[in-house]
Amino acid sequence: MSAGFARGRRLRSTPALRRLTAQTRLSPADLVLPVFVKQDIAEPVPISSMPGVVQHTLDSLRKAAHEAAEAGISGLMLFGIPSEKDPVGSQADAADGIVNVALQQLRADLGDELVLMADLCLCEYTDHGHCGIVTPARGGVRGQGGGLVVDNDPTLDRYAAVAIAQAQAGAHLVAPSGMMDGQVAAIRAGLDSAAFTEVPILAYAAKYASGFYGPFREAAEGAPQFGDRSTYQMDPPNVDEALREVAQDLAEGADAVMVKPALPYLDIVARVADSVDVPVSAYQVSGEYAMVEAAAANGWVDRQRAVLETLTAIRRAGAGTVLTYWAVEAARWLR
């Protein structure tokens, strides 16, 4: 073999060399923890399909938030489960709604130590489980579940009201996830009209109608009671559509964008990251979490190695921030 033969292994021979030459870095600050808080429960409720994840009480959420801050992650994404639901999701913007009370308490406890992100949608709050106002189909539109449709434009008014309530409660950032057309513009206008001009919007800009959301529906108790969400969430085969959705949200005033899910859509994460000059997040969703946990429980994969490898892959694809249910545990490993 000639002396000049290329040897890629030279830079892989020790852990220190591998760290020195790593092209992708993963740190606690890259991670955000999604959390669920449920009204009127006395103890945290385990989520059977997501081992290690719970529906929090207000007190257990405050404890978890302090642990997250100590671990060095950047933020929390809050989802709420109210004790009462109705057709318009009234508890989403009620002053005593569970997420708004949680935001108030966490902001008082932590100040600006963590970024408090509020998921902005109605599916957890409506009795029908859809992400917007449901009305009878009209104008030739074919509905679901007895001719019902999720009505885009009336839903925008509800989103604006929820955004204002979340900002008043102390959210540092609101994150609309309903995939209604025009949602970012409506929310930006609502926030600005209420003097919350400094509250940024992280838009779930490319949110796909995915089969990986199953465990989340147990966690958030927000499964649709009829039909599905394929008329407003994105169709999995489509790439160019994702770029159009991202461009539209940015034109309407989004400050950052998200791709959801993460691992099955790494190509979308990469395309979006290459096309924009704003922060890009990716959400490692409940089904992704459950798959690794199930495989690890059966001894089929090394759990820690698999978790860190998936997070690194999402960062490598171009996501600056990863929402993951492993955020605190992974941060502790990394530190």
Is 245 annotated in a binding site? The answer is yes
For residue 48, what pLDDT is reported?
94
Identified catalytic residue from 38, 63, 85, 207: 207
Identified catalytic residue from 38, 63, 85, 260: 260
Asked, for residue 167, whether it belongs to a domain, the answer is yes
Are the C-beta atoms of residues 137 and 194 closer than 8 Å to each other?
no
Comparing CA positions, the residue from 167, 153, 165 lying closest to residue 125 is 165
Asked, for residue 170, whether it belongs to a domain, the answer is yes
Asked, for residue 68, whether it belongs to a domain, the answer is yes
Asked, for residue 13, whether it belongs to a domain, the answer is no
Asked, for residue 83, whether it belongs to a domain, the answer is yes
For residue 324, what pLDDT is reported?
98
The enclosing domain of 65 has a CATH number of 3.20.20.70
For residue 150, what pLDDT is reported?
84
Are the C-beta atoms of residues 260 and 287 closer than 8 Å to each other?
no
pLDDT (tens digit per residue) in 222-245: 777 776 788 889 999 999 999 999
Asked, for residue 11, whether it belongs to a domain, the answer is no
For residue 170, give both structure tokens: 């102390």
Is 159 annotated in a binding site? The answer is no
Helix (H, G, I), strand (E, B) or coil at 115: strand
Is 229 annotated in a binding site? The answer is yes
Asked, for residue 12, whether it belongs to a domain, the answer is no
- C-alpha torsion sign, points 53, 104, 160, 133: positive
How many structural domains are present in the chain?
1
- In the chain (335 residues long), the average pLDDT of successive 10-residue segments reads 80 94 96 97 96 97 98 98 92 95 98 97 88 78 69 94 98 96 97 98 97 84 75 93 98 98 98 98 97 98 98 98 98 96
Asked, for residue 247, whether it belongs to a domain, the answer is yes
For residue 227, what pLDDT is reported?
66
In 188-261, the DSSP E strands lie at 202-207, 256-260
Is 303 annotated in a binding site? The answer is no
Strand partners for 257: 203, 280
For residue 141, what pLDDT is reported?
58
In the chain, the DSSP E strands lie at 31-38, 45-46, 54-56, 75-81, 115-120, 133-136, 148-151, 173-176, 202-207, 256-260, 280-283, 321-323
Residue 63 designated active-site: no
Range of the domain at 39: 27-334
For residue 104, what pLDDT is reported?
98
